[in-house]
Amino acid sequence: MHTLHYIAVKLDGDYAGDFGAMRGEASEEVHSTLIGDERPYGSWYDWFAVGGGRFVEGDAYSNSDDHIIIYGEDKDKFLEKMNEGLGWQLSNAKQLFEQLSEKFDLDKAMAQFEETYNNNDKPVDYSSMGAWTMRRLMSHFEGYWNPDSHFLDITNGTPAPRYLLDDIERNPDSAGNWALVPVDFHY
């Protein structure tokens, strides 16, 4: 499956309005961070395309700088796309919550677990317990980055925008150095 995430990164340096150079630097920073020195940044994806891949015009399998948004160049578009990703994240969490609310009975799940946890003749059926849906929802609540997050502040390592927005407010002179990089993840 594929999922589009907006990855926020704060660039170091003085680019003097050279947005092309900033896009190249943002692309490289996100790519190198996601690849990691020894292992991928996240364990849930197996490959990705920086620049949006299949979710934007162009080659779905090549990295591209074309769709990277620089806060200093277009703060409204930056915030719009960031909020779009966060909206998907919230929508997913609500959907998972509704699924659990409709189908999950904690007392029944505990009774089933108790009956089967040490019984080789009757293995535990975790799928009927809603554990997978609960785990996905809890990852949102606990602030873990996953396929359903759709946004990551890679500078601060969180799928929430609070540190990014706080930095923009506290440091208006360097706020223009934030970049938003669309990334197509395969998982």
pLDDT in tens, 53-91: 999 988 888 889 999 999 999 999 999 999 999 999 999
Q: For residues 71 and 176, is the Cβ–Cβ distance under 8 A?
A: yes
- Domain with 20, as residue range(s), is 2-186
Radius of gyration of the chain (CA): 20
Q: What is the pLDDT of residue 118?
A: 74
Q: For residues 49 and 63, is the Cβ–Cβ distance under 8 A?
A: yes
Instruction: Tell me: pLDDT of 18 over 90.
Output: yes
Provide the 3-class DSSP secondary structure of residue 19: helix
Query: What are 49's strand-pairing partners?
Result: 184
Q: What is the pLDDT of residue 105?
A: 79
Q: What is the pLDDT of residue 17?
A: 87
Handedness of CA 150, 155, 161, 164 (dihedral sign): negative
Q: What is the pLDDT of residue 130?
A: 79
Query: What's 175's DSSP letter?
Result: G
Q: What is the mean pLDDT of the chain?
A: 90
As for how many domains the chain has, the answer is 1
In DSSP notation, 98-151 reads: HHHHHH--HHHHHHHHHHHTT-TTS---HHHHTHHHHHHHHHHHTT---TTT-E
Task: For 88, list phi and psi in degrees, rounded to 5.
Answer: -65, -40
What is the band of 37 on the pLDDT scale with cuts at 50, 70, 90? Answer: low
Q: How far apart are CA 88 and CA 69, in angstroms?
A: 19
Helix, strand, coil proportions of the chain in percent (round to 5)? 45, 15, 40
Reported pTM: 0.85
29: its two tokens:
């920073």
User: To the nearest whole percent, how much of the chain has pLDDT over 70?
Assistant: 94
Q: What is the pLDDT of residue 42?
A: 81
User: To the nearest whole percent, how much of the chain has pLDDT over 90?
Assistant: 68
Instruction: Tell me: pLDDT of 36 over 80.
Output: no
